[in-house]
Amino acid sequence: FRTSFRSKGKYYGGMADELEGLGAETGGPTLAPAAALLSDLITFAKKKKLTKKQHVMFNIADMATAIEVGNALCRKAAAGKDGRVSAEVRKAAARLFAGEALGTVLRCARQVAVGTGADEDGAMAGRIAQIDSLAPFRGAVADMDFIATELAK
């Protein structure tokens, strides 16, 4: 949190740019808007003095955890085969987690922006609404089936 705020959003904003540059097969482009939203939401929470509220900080922590883990998985997927797990299984797992992370960030962002009543002008709610919340579901069942089949071998 401190790193992101002190960098004026560059930490998660920069991460979003890097994730966007990864191939779609890694889940990076699915996770990128979530990282960018987290960057904006941290700035929003600080400006609105919401960081003194425990519930807000828990939501920010949930979002940051999802983004950090998703970022690591997407980068590993981009790196290819590593150890016993095939590159294709790693990519499918990264895509699935990126979708889950996006869902977590959207849910928590709504709780912070709308649930606190701090988004008087609706700008943050509008920012949240711009993100394609259905993107993670496209191909998710196929990825789950693929992983299950590969793990059963």
Per-residue pLDDT reduced to its tens digit, 39-78: 999 999 999 999 999 999 999 999 999 999 999 999 999 9
Question: Does the pLDDT value for residue 102 go beyond 80?
Answer: yes
- Residue 82 has what pLDDT? 73
In whole angstroms, give the CA distance from residue 88 to residue 19. 18
Which whole number is the average pLDDT over 115-128?
95
What's at 109, amino acid-wise? A
What's at 37, amino acid-wise? L
In whole angstroms, give the CA distance from residue 150 to residue 118. 47
- Residue 119 has what pLDDT? 95
Read off the pTM. Answer: 0.90
